[in-house]
Amino acid sequence: MKIAKIHHKSTRVLMRIVNGIAKSTRANGAARFLLGRSHSRLRAGLRGDEGNALIEVALILPVLLSVLMGIFVVGIAYNQQMVLTNAVNIGGQYLGALTPNTTTDPCADTVTQIKNAAPILNPANLLVSFTLEGSSLGQTNSCSGDQSDLNSQKNVTVTAKYQCNLTIMGINFAPSGCWVYASVTELGN
């Protein structure tokens, strides 16, 4: 009932505007003729329930677009989580397969493997930490000299966190930032 009253009031306001334009252009015959024809069509068109569908679409469309945008944002975050998990698995397998004499900086090589496995992630937002043989090295991209910790049958753990980028059409949906995490533990060779 309220929608019908609103529609009726908006129709009256619109008709006042059209009537005012028609009265002000009466001196010009061509303008009067053209506006008079459209004026009568407008009056006939606004009397029925034809405008209700347009009002309903105008009310529902923002809600539907918000839900659709939310689906996109969640999809982007989920995609970044899956890419990070896959990249950390590849990095953990690489680190677990290394032997002490293979490289001089196993952490830097592992970080390179992770970045290569996740080309869609921004490397500046990626933080990687390592645990070699039970000793945590913290968030570092280099552990030169720690290759002696790569002994066989010892666990190596690679943990990464990535600051999400949830920007769609210039709108950042997580301005304070969101983080996705991934961790893997591999048994050394």
Token pair for 10? 């908006």
Q: Identify whether 61 is part of a domain.
A: no
Q: Identify whether 56 is part of a domain.
A: no
Q: Identify whether 53 is part of a domain.
A: no
Q: Identify whether 143 is part of a domain.
A: yes
User: What does the angle CA 90 – CA 94 – CA 99 come to, to the nearest 5 degrees?
Assistant: 170
27 and 101: one domain?
no
129 and 177: one domain?
yes
154 and 84: one domain?
yes
- The DSSP bridge partners found for residue 162 are 126, 180
3-31 tens-digit pLDDT: 444 445 566 655 666 566 555 544 455 55
93 and 177: one domain?
yes
Q: Are 124 and 141 in contact (CB under 8 A)?
A: no
43 and 76: one domain?
no
66-124 tens-digit pLDDT: 899 889 888 988 999 999 999 999 998 888 887 767 777 788 888 999 999 999 999 99
> What is the distance between the alpha carbons of residues 52 and 62, in angstroms, rounded to a whole number?
17
Q: What is the pTM of this model?
A: 0.64
122-143 tens-digit pLDDT: 999 899 988 877 666 666 666 7
Mean pLDDT (the chain) is 76
Q: Identify whether 127 is part of a domain.
A: yes
Q: Identify whether 60 is part of a domain.
A: no
Number of domains in the chain: 2
Q: Identify whether 131 is part of a domain.
A: yes
**Confidence tier at 152 by pLDDT (50, 70, 90):** low
Note down the domain range covering 108. 70-187
The pair phi, psi for residue 100, each rounded to 5°, is -55, -30
